[in-house]
Structure 1
């Protein structure tokens, strides 16, 4: 038998070498993947961090929210950065965050749309901003009030006076209002709130003010109730300054007025007070100057005595200093000069000669005390600024919190 030829041997070696090379290439070299094969398939997933989740009470779109309701914003997921609650008029409701919850600390205006804007951080970062709106209750009556004599220099007998245009009908409403209001004085002064009636809340010092005292009043009672479906829509603040210490005394029986400043007598005037009779007798008591009017017409019909009835009068007067709401003034009365100093002939006012009345008018401030003595007809506190008709202990009991 013949062996392989040289050519066949060479060819066999070449084929073997090629197979060996091919095997090495398959195990160690790069290959192009087959897109149709399962082994070559790969996927990539990217997930956004979770956002903050916020709940607001009252919920967005709610109507008839009561002005004294509390607003809460809670972070169910994440943390609260900031909350603002703004009314349609631009007023902002204060509040604070504790833990995961923001809670309002002020009441709202009635009949007002509010926008709640919340900024919060998600649990893994990222900021979320949420907005919602709600509307407060539209009451039957919007209650109004004022701080009387705010911004003025007043006499030492003038109390702080918050006067409501309609009655604060229930003790619980008066208590809530009294807790909300405050007075600050420089120098510090002892005093107490009290209700003169259900429309007049007053802060009276224990004794007459020290001259030069500054008084600041804060009455932030927006959203407080004063009666059945009566809500306050706007808070108020004010101030007043106490002037010099001037006091007047009218001795009804002696027909004399004495005026002093800082304990020194300035003037003594002859006067004529109200003539005898229950409807005309001048009232005794510690009154306070309520206001001044240079000229006016005094008409008895304004106090219930009409034209044609006994006691009717209508007369023009000058230099009028009012001391009661019931029609008592100190004023010029040239027609009664002959009786001044000896006889009481007026309808209840204090009559003075024109020059004397002019002096008293010029030198009087609202809030100056005027003490009347000698009459059996007592001045009732609600007939004027009657806070000094109470002892200190009695006045403290006028507080709704007493």
Structure 2
């Protein structure tokens, strides 16, 4: 081998050594350093800038004719509320409560009608800067206010057919707005619906089927501040909590001249009865589901059309305000169980009437069958059960 040939060969080996070194460098785990001096060579990320607090007032500052039934609120994003005060025209602070995270504040008492309320306070933003809470709004000064009254009371016990009635002195124009302010809660849960009756002066709630005995019921009408239409607003809220008692159903048949009382599924009374005279539409007892409305140890009966006034009867239980009662009458004992001679009422002997009277709860159903006339919507305030469920549901202002 000549020297020249050997030198070329050594040069080739040297080149291969350089390539190997470059290849090993590509697999190295050592970090690379960019020209800017940062590892990895990527762009530098910056922390987001802290944001100022942003406030939302409800109602907004400058709003007029605010309905006072809903709470006034302040909410903040990108910060927390440091202090909030809402004052009335006399400078009195309205009661309110902040949320646990200090992101909002809400009034906890009703606002008044026709008043201007002023906000004050401040919020602290994420940027550490203060943002003032300020502004004012004015509540509506209504043309008139209207209150509703319930037929049920706190702590009372009612029968399984008891309807809930909310009655107003005048017809309600915006029935949907009023109905949205109403709620009925039951334990156990019970399907039911509201229906507008009596020329839109009352709204009733009844269950689809009779209540289960022992049901706990809470009715709440949040009417204050509700726009009822035509410039009328709700005067105040009303509510009640009551209980449904045992199941007691009267089953009467005008053709058989009988009346049975079924309590919790067992017949506990069976009385002979004289019902209304069948041949006279003005005297016949109506078939259908009546509801006990009230009871009186003595009641004075008058019907000038049939030439009698101030006839006192014992142990009278009103089952409709069309004049139908269950009561005692000694003078018709001879006909009871045999013949219908009354003016629409169910006549019992005074002793039997007393037994029934002592067992009665308002809201007990009285189911009458056999007569030529049917109980209808014009027969009194508690005609709720004369409707089938489909027809009843359609009387809701919120029905689709």
TM over 0.5: yes
After superposition, residues 15-30 of structure 1 pair within 5 angstroms as none
**Which blocks of at least 5 consecutive residues in structure 1 are unaligned?**
1-51
SS at match of 1:360: helix
* 2:334 maps to which of 333, 338, 349: 338
SS at match of 1:358: helix
1:174 aligned residue: 175
* 1:222 maps to which of 224, 240, 243: 224
Give, in angstroms, the shift of residue 191 of structure 1. Answer: 2.1
After superposition, residues 1-400 of structure 1 pair within 5 angstroms as 65-67=66-68, 80-81=81-82, 83=84, 111=113, 113=115, 115-121=117-123, 136-151=139-154, 152-169=156-173, 173-197=174-198, 198-275=200-277, 276-300=279-303, 305=304, 310-382=306-378, 383-400=380-397
1:44-71: CA deviation from partner (whole Å, max 9, x where unpaired): xxxxxxxx999896768x9865547995
**Against the structure 1 CA distance between its residues 222 and 332, is the aligned structure 2 distance closer, same or farther, given a 3 Å change threshold?**
same
For residues 245 and 278 of structure 1, what CA distance do their matches in structure 2 show?
32
1:158-198: CA deviation from partner (whole Å, max 9, x where unpaired): 123322232213xxx21122222222211122222222341
1:20 aligned residue: none
1:100-146: CA deviation from partner (whole Å, max 9, x where unpaired): 9x7979996663546445321366556967696x6644434321112
Aligned residues: 340
Normalised to the residue count of structure 2, the TM-score between the two structures is 0.72
Give, in angstroms, the shift of residue 268 of structure 1. Answer: 0.9
**Against the structure 1 CA distance between its residues 72 and 261, is the aligned structure 2 distance closer, same or farther, given a 3 Å change threshold?**
closer
Normalised to the residue count of structure 1, the TM-score between the two structures is 0.71
Give the alignment's Cα RMSD to 1 decimal: 3.9
**Which blocks of at least 5 consecutive residues in structure 2 are unaligned?**
1-53
- Give the conservation status (yes or no) of the 8 Å contact 2:96–2:105: no
For residues 201 and 93 of structure 2, what CA distance do their matches in structure 1 show?
29
**Against the structure 1 CA distance between its residues 393 and 339, is the aligned structure 2 distance closer, same or farther, given a 3 Å change threshold?**
same
Q: Which has the larger radius of gyration?
A: 1
SS at match of 2:177: helix
Give, in angstroms, the shift of residue 80 of structure 1. Answer: 4.1
For residues 248 and 388 of structure 2, what CA distance do their matches in structure 1 show?
21
**Against the structure 1 CA distance between its residues 260 and 54, is the aligned structure 2 distance closer, same or farther, given a 3 Å change threshold?**
closer
